[in-house]
Structure formats: structure tokens, C-alpha cells
Amino acid sequence: MKLTSPASIAAFGGLLLVPALIRIVFPDSEKYYLHLLIQILLWSFIYTGWSLMGRFGLTSLGHGAFTGIGAYGCVLFWNFAGLSPWLGIPVSIAVAVAVSLLIGYPCFRLRIAGHYFALLTLALTEFVRLCIVGLRDYTGGSLGTQPKRAADGISFYALQFEPDRWLSYYIALALWVFGLWVWLRVDRSMDRYALDAASQDEDAAASVGVNVTREKLKITALSAGLCALGGAIYGQYQMYIGPDTIAGLGVSLNMVFAVIAGGLWVPLGPTVGAIFTQVLTEGLRVAIQGSATLKATLGSAALALDQLIYGLLLILFIIYMPKGILGTLMERRARKKAGKPAAPGSAEPAPG
Amino acid sequence: MDCHLDVFFLEALINGLLLAGLLALLALGLNLVFGVIDVVWICYAELVMVGMYGIFYAHKAGVPFVLAAVIGIALCAAAGVLLHMLVIRPVLDQAPINQLLVTGGVLIFLQAAATMAFGIEFKNLGIRLGSVGIADMSFSWSRILAFGIALAAMLALWIFLTRTYTGTAIRAIAQDRQIMPLMGADARRIYVVTSAIGAGLAGLAASLMVLQYDIYPQIGLQFGPLIFMICVLGGLGNMIGGFIAAFIISQFIAVGSSCFHTEWGYAVAFLFFMVAVLIRPQGLFGAKS
């Protein structure tokens, strides 16, 4: 996939026209559909950021910490220091990257991987969430907080755009394209080959001159930085941040699972994962709201139905479809084209 | 509240000690499963939640508490066997991280299922065991009981693992998964037995926890991460290490919470954990590999 190929450019052109299309087709619920799309694009960007690391076997459960640092850093600088997000976001990203390096360096030097890496980064997520809750005088504790609203809610200086859904959509779209561009840049770089090698055999990679620690740190910093940026923009769009909506273990797990559901080794995998999870949640909500019988039988239990199905699907995905929705589809298509089954293990590195 | 070396501080220390017994019991089950099957059950705390609901409803239906606890343990053990056969067994050959993530799916599933079945209200068993007062300090009997039973259960498990044939086979499998099946130990059966025991310990912990805590679907998130932390700190699969780590972590929480807000106690414990693991990645008590 190339961003500058005619097909890609046509696709982006199409995405630019989507708000106009929605205005024509759903004039009454334009805001709702745009909101759904913005959510998908913003989460896709965050998931793409996570997948940069995840695809090389660095399964981090710590990225909820980075989105949290990005979102809270941006809002706290604005609310308490009057610092514009244009400065606050870069500072927050720098903090997130510094934290990721602080954890990453000893991990990669000591070759902490697999379970230990996942559980250690899980502790980082919990630590950051507890700090957010603990600093309740500034962060609003577990209730969350809001950025101070600039005059009418739309301001370049305050980077607030939530009331204008068209503007929000284009900002989210730009961010998403940026994420995709980074993913493809990484995919074509020498670092990608070094990291692929290191994820399969660290000693062998090191013996042919790959500085494994350095490569892993580079991708970790990039991944953490993108997630911090995504968290910050998400907070600016929602105009609300809470320790469980943009930080914490739930967010970390969602990232991992959405990417696995979508496909870890394909550029649009995280996006498919985000579409899948958002549409599942919204679709079920609408279906239950729309059907009197379902509403009556399920009652308040309906609130957890999407999570129930989600959890079940994740189990099934990991057992039967570890390459995810898009990964599996693309593999099938490639196999059909070639007219023969793909040689086992030739296409992608083994998961993990 | 400020920190003083007074009677409140001593009370916090002893309460931390009592909490440690419970956490050690929880870590023990998880460590047993990891040591033998080499899988981290991220959903371990959710099994405890299932056990707590089981005991709550059994007791509500008129079953005496001790019998309800037995039902809870059996329920958890059954859930553990199901978890192993339906979810873990199909991914045993996959990358270790996939095994961890698949139980994450179980975590989400169990939480949602509990929310749908039991609602989000806090439920309380309504049994009050009272408390004992010693020199201006007060300790609830439920905590003391939990501590005592947790220690007794650990001792019983140790005797089982060292004195019975099945226990010996479990320890052997943990040491070498490839060779032991050739020696006549049936790995598939041992895995199922281990899953049942590991989850049964979660049920035992559940029966001790319903006396102290309210039950709600998200309760697992509150102490789940703590259990993983204790296991990693003690060296995953190292049961003695997990036991000692439980005492260290619970003191951080107890003392930190008594000096500052509760979440700072936890935050300091997590910080200590990260630093400790980065200094000694094999766990505080693990052997150098």
C-alpha cells in the first residue's frame, strides 16, 4: 500500500466528501454520524500508534498511561497555567516519550519480554491512573475534568473545535492519515527489518549488527508519542477526560484487542479494529433501543451486552483468527490470486 | 493524616500483615497455574468475583455460610477447568502473549456477564463477625480469619504437592514439560487438575473476601493488577517468592494508605514494583537464569 498511489488518493478524496454525503443522506442525524466517524478515526489513530510496537512482539499494556499523560498534560497546562495546547501537547508528548524511554531502556537492556513486559507495562498504566486519581485537586479524581472552554467553544489558540463537527471530522481525518503515513514510513524503513529480526531472534539480530536496544527504544518512543498525541486530541474533541475513559487498564486492553481483532500486521488493521468495536457497540445500542422486546427482556443488562459479545469474539479471534479480520481477508485474497496456498510462515512473522 | 509512629501506625502495619495473607493466597493460585501450565490467567481476579457471587446467592438461598463457601470453591474449580479446556487448551501452542491476551478476553466476558446477570449494585453478604480490640487498636475478625485460613490453605497445598503422587507429578511437569509425559505423567490430566486447584484457591479466597468486601462486577479490577504484581515480584511461578512479595506489597499499601490517601499507597506499591523488577527482572526471589 502506498499513500500516493492513485487508488489511495481517490480514497482520501472520497473521505473528504463524507461529511457532505452524510448531510445529504442523513440530514436529521448528521451530528450523530459524524460523531461516530470522528470517534472511529481518533481511536484508529491511537490503535495505529500502539500497533507500531505491537507488531514487533512488544505487547505493551502500558499505552493507556501514554494516552492519559497526553490528555491530562494538555488539559492541565491549559487550565492551570493558561498554556495553549499548541505548546501543552508537545510538552505532554515529551513527558510521555520520556516515561516510555525510562521504562523501555532497562526492559530492553535486561531483555524483559513476553509476560513480564506485559505485566510491567500494566503496572505503569495502573501507576499513572492512580496518580491521576490521587491528584484530584487538579485532575478531578475519578470524576474526570474538562478543559476550560474558550469563548464559544471554537478557538484556534485553545485548540477547541468540538461544536463544529465538520472541522472536528477533518482534524480527526488528518490525524488518521498522519498515523497511517507513520506506519507506512516505519514499514519501509530499515528499522522495520531490524525489529522483525530482533523479534524473532535477538542474539542473531545483534550478531549481524542490529543495535537491538536502540531499535526497540526508537519504536517505543514513536509509539508512545503518537498515543499521547491521540489522547490529547481525543480530550480536546470530547471536552472531557476521565481516568477510565482515556487512561487506565481498560483503555490499554481495548487498544490491544481492537488491533488484534482488526489485524496486527496490515496498515489498516487497527482502523478495521476501531470500526469493528465502535460499530459493534453502537449497533447493539441502536438495536436494543429500537426494539421494545429486547429492551424489556434485557433492561439495564443491555448496557453490558456489547462487552459480553466483544469479550467472546476476542477469545474466538485469538483462537481461530490470530491475524485478525483484515489480515485474514487479505491473506485469503493473496492466496486466491496466487492460485495456491501460501507457504506456511512465509508471509508474516509469528505472532508474539 | 500525617505519619506518626503511634498506635494507628502499628494498627496499619498489622492490618497490612493480615491483608498479606489474603493476597498471598491469591498469588499462590495464579503462581501454581503459571508454574505448571506456563499461562498467566489475567482473568484470575474475575474467577474470584464469580466465586463471590456464587457464595452470595447460595447464602441468600438459605445455605449456611460454610456450605456456601464450599459451593463457591467448587464453582470456581469448575470454572477453572472450563477455562482451561475451552480457552487455554486451543492456544497452548501459540505465542505466550496470545495465551495471556485470550484470558483478557475472558476477563471482559466475565465482567460483562456478571453485570448482565447480577446488575451493577454493590451486594453485601450481611455477615458481621465483629472485631477484637487490643490496646486501642481494633482488628476485624474477618481479616484475622482470612489470614489464618490463607496460611492453613498454603500449608495444605504444600503438603499435597510434596506428599501425594498427583502433587509430585504436578511439580515434575512444572520442571520439565517435555520429558515428564514420557515418564508416564499425563500432562493433559495434570493441567486440568492444576487448573481446578488454582481456580479452587480463587474460590477459597472469594469465601474469605465476601466477609470483608462488597461484591460488584468490577471488583476484579481493584485487586487483579495487585496479584500480578505480587507474582512477578516474587518471580512468576515461584510460590515462596510470591508469598514474601505479598507481605512487602501489602505493607506499602497499608502504610501508604494510612499516611496519605488510599490511592497513593497503591501508587507507591506500583512504583516500587516497577523499580524492583527493573533492578531484578527475574523477581526478587527468582534464580538468575
Q: In chain A, which residues have their Cβ closer than 8 Å to the Cβ of B40? A: 115, 119
Confidence bin at A346 (pLDDT 50/70/90): very low
Between residues A352 and B273, the one the model is more confident about? B273
Across A49-72, average pLDDT: 93
State residue A347's pLDDT score: 43
Q: Is residue A186 a part of any domain in this protein?
A: yes
State residue A231's pLDDT score: 96
Asked if residue B89 lies in contact with residue A295, where contact means CB atoms within 8 angstroms, the answer is no
Asked if residue B220 lies in contact with residue B107, where contact means CB atoms within 8 angstroms, the answer is yes
Nearest to A250 by CA among A67, A32, A24, A21: A67
Mean pLDDT of chain B: 85
Task: Tell if the CB–CB gap between A106 and B117 is shorter than 8 Å.
Answer: no
State residue B5's pLDDT score: 61
Q: In chain B, which residues have their Cβ closer than 8 Å to the Cβ of A351? A: 94-95, 97-98
State residue A7's pLDDT score: 86
Across B128-137, average pLDDT: 73
Q: Is residue A123 a part of any domain in this protein?
A: yes
Tally of structural domains, chain A = 1
* Residue A207: Cβ-neighbour burial (10 angstroms; 0-12, 13-18, 19+): exposed
pLDDT digits (tens, 9 = 90+) for B240-252: 888 889 988 888 8
Between residues A153 and B211, the one the model is more confident about? B211
State residue A348's pLDDT score: 46
pLDDT of residue B266 exceeding 70, the answer is yes
Between residues B126 and B158, the one the model is more confident about? B158
- Cell readout for A72 is 491530562
Give the distance from residue B252's alpha carbon to the nearest chain A alpha carbon, in angstroms: 14
Lowest mean pLDDT among A38-52, A172-186, A298-312: A298-312
CA distance A123 to A228: 18
Contact with chain A for residue B268, Cβ under 8 A: no
pLDDT of residue B288 exceeding 70, the answer is no
CA distance B103 to B38: 13
Confidence bin at B4 (pLDDT 50/70/90): low
Asked if residue A41 lies in contact with residue A173, where contact means CB atoms within 8 angstroms, the answer is yes
Contact with chain A for residue B98, Cβ under 8 A: yes
Nearest to A260 by CA among A268, A270, A251: A270
CB-nearest to A134 from B117, B263, B278 is B263
Residue of B nearest to A116 (CA): B232
Could you list the residue range(s) of the whole structural domain that residue A163 is in?
7-338
Of chain B residues 199-218, which have a CB less than 8 A from chain A?
Answer: 217
Q: Which positions ≥6 away from B248 have C-beta within 8 Å? A: B233, B272, B284
Structural domains of chain B, ranges and CATH numbers in brackets: 7-119+133-279 (1.10.3470)
- Cell readout for A76 is 492541565
Confidence bin at B44 (pLDDT 50/70/90): very high
Lowest mean pLDDT among A63-72, A176-185, A336-345, B96-105: A336-345
State residue B119's pLDDT score: 83
Query: The domain spanning residue A187 has which CATH number?
Result: 1.10.3470
- Cell readout for B131 is 472485631
For the ranges A199-203, A288-292, B283-287, the maximum mean pLDDT occurs at A199-203
State residue A201's pLDDT score: 86
pLDDT digits (tens, 9 = 90+) for A246-294: 988 888 988 988 898 888 888 899 999 999 888 888 888 888 777 777 7
Residue type, B8: F
Among B46, B98, B101, the residue to mutate for chain A (most A Cβ within 10 A): B101
Asked if residue A255 lies in contact with residue A46, where contact means CB atoms within 8 angstroms, the answer is yes
Mean pLDDT of chain A: 87
The angle that helices A190-200 and A165-188 make with each other, rounded to 10 degrees, is 70
Q: Is residue A344 a part of any domain in this protein?
A: no
pLDDT of residue B3 exceeding 60, the answer is no
State residue A340's pLDDT score: 54
Across A316-323, average pLDDT: 86
Q: In chain A, which residues have their Cβ closer than 8 Å to the Cβ of B261? A: 134
Q: Is residue A176 a part of any domain in this protein?
A: yes
Q: In chain B, which residues have their Cβ closer than 8 Å to the Cβ of A348? A: none
pLDDT digits (tens, 9 = 90+) for B189-233: 889 999 999 999 999 999 999 988 899 998 888 888 889 889 888
Contact with chain A for residue B118, Cβ under 8 A: no
Q: Which positions ≥6 away from A258 have C-beta within 8 Å? A: A43, A47, A270, A273, A274, A276, A277
Long-range contacts of B86-89 (CB under 8 A, 24+ apart): B87/A315, B87/A319, B88/B37, B88/B39, B88/B191, B88/B195, B89/B191
Q: Any idea which residue has 509512629 for its cell?
A: B5
Question: ipTM score here?
Answer: 0.83
Residue of B nearest to A105 (CA): B278
Across A116-144, average pLDDT: 90
CB-nearest to A116 from B266, B267, B281 is B281
Lowest mean pLDDT among A281-285, A312-316, B22-26: A281-285
Q: Is residue A20 a part of any domain in this protein?
A: yes
Contact with chain A for residue B264, Cβ under 8 A: yes
CA distance B250 to B20: 5
pLDDT of residue A127 exceeding 50, the answer is yes
Give the distance from residue B19's alpha carbon to the nearest chain A alpha carbon, in angstroms: 20
Task: Tell if the CB–CB gap between B108 and A106 is shorter than 8 Å.
Answer: no
Q: Is residue A280 a part of any domain in this protein?
A: yes
Between residues A99 and B38, the one the model is more confident about? A99
Asked if residue A51 lies in contact with residue A269, where contact means CB atoms within 8 angstroms, the answer is yes
CA distance A138 to A35: 28
Residue of B nearest to A58 (CA): B97
Size of interface A-B (CB pairs under 8 A): 151
pLDDT of residue A193 exceeding 50, the answer is yes
pLDDT of residue B20 exceeding 50, the answer is yes
pLDDT of residue A342 exceeding 90, the answer is no
- Cell readout for B171 is 511439580
Task: Tell if the CB–CB gap between B109 and A257 is shorter than 8 Å.
Answer: no
CA angle B196, B90, A281 (to 5 degrees): 95
Asked if residue A257 lies in contact with residue A268, where contact means CB atoms within 8 angstroms, the answer is no
State residue A306's pLDDT score: 81
Q: In chain A, which residues have their Cβ closer than 8 Å to the Cβ of B115? A: 301, 303-304, 307
Long-range contacts of A299-306 (CB under 8 A, 24+ apart): A300/B119, A300/B120, A301/B115, A301/B116, A301/B117, A301/B119, A303/B115, A304/B111, A304/B112, A304/B113, A304/B115, A304/B116, A304/B217, A305/B112, A305/B116, A306/A280, A306/A281, A306/B112
Contact with chain A for residue B275, Cβ under 8 A: no
Paired with B215 in beta bridges are B123
